[in-house]
Structure 1
Amino acid sequence: MTTETTNTQTKMLTNEVFIDVLEYHNANTGFISGMVKLQTNFYNPIKDKQIVIRNDKFQDLTTEFSEDKHGIQILKKYNARSDIIKNKNHFPILVTYQYTSDDEVTLKLNTANLKFANTVKMSLQLPSGDSSAVKVYNQGDLSHDAKVWKSDFISDGNGTTCVLKVKKLAEMSVVKMECCVIDGKGDSSGMNIKKVIVGDINIFKGVKYTLKYTKELLIE
């Protein structure tokens, strides 16, 4: 177990404990990597307190509070393969593309199968090269900055369709997409924390899920 210290600029008046789950899904390879972290903000140090994290992916995690009042403890790193995320229907960004003219490609991103997400951030990275050779037109919630587009929205269960029109894209181009889901508990292949037992339950503030998906699309 490793511990890294975070700097705090303000004085914390309450004791708080957060469980932070970060998971990365590669839809092209079906590979999952993840990390479970414990974040603490203490005004007064707490001793002899134990935390037990129960989940459905591996054995219970048991740890003691760090002596550091404000710190991050990495409790578990894990890797897995999943055939589920190879199925495009389980990938948050359902993508289709078509040439709408000789030099224009239209990408459609549909997030209809995202559930229980507080925030979703999407980015699309075009091949490196002369940025002046690429012109982008967007619809929906996306806004662009150079070659990266991001969108923050609250998922209402119906999903959002975003359309990107890219001009002067090379004939053989690889477009990389990333989707970052905050508190995205709707993925059955993701980590599922069932219960957290803390020495003093009043200081436990909940679990924060961050699921990050990547996918590369070859445009021919």
Structure 2
Amino acid sequence: MGKLVIFITLLAGVLGLFVDSIRDLMTSELASTLLIPAFLIYFTFVFATKGIEKFKHENVKELKIEDYYRDLSKKELIEQLEIWFDLLTQTELTLEVLGERSTKGITKQVLKKHDVKPEVYALGKVIGSTWIYGKERTNKLLVQYQRYNYESDNLDGLKALSYIAMIISSLRKDLMNVDSDPIDLLLLKIKDANEPEKLDAFKVAIKEIEDEIK
């Protein structure tokens, strides 16, 4: 303890020798023209550097979060695209399977009470899930398709299939930025879609739907 007191006393004495010199230096022309600006520049640089580092850290964090949700969105879109593709090719079967899956735990009495068919309930869930990740055109198609379903019980009719083909085409654009003609999807998946009368009917339906979403 005694040694510490002696050291502090000596240090204070040494610093005392330079007090006048330091005071003279700080009030000199050299300090006002060189040292003080240099100190200001240095501290400005230090604070700016820390600010930039903090910004970079926050920016990297935000990018990681954005990448996470982008990857999640792509995964969900792929799943939705597969469901819509099944709806186009095997509409009744897919709706029945989805209906059983989505109403698991819901009794038939509850569905009957609310006048809801399992396949309609399932289709509503698919539309809702797709809406979350779809872009503007896709969501407009979903709205019009759901309105059509409210007014029609024919879930696998010509216009219903046209809606589904257009939704698939729009989802592919959202996911892969690839353009695809709904007519090609209908020709690919529906056996008699290439019959002139039916093909013309599909073209008319697609034109009507395009007008609906404008």
TM-score, normalised to structure 2, is: 0.19
More strand by share: 1
Q: Which has the higher helix share?
A: 2
Greater Rg by CA: 2
TM-score, normalised relative to structure 1: 0.18
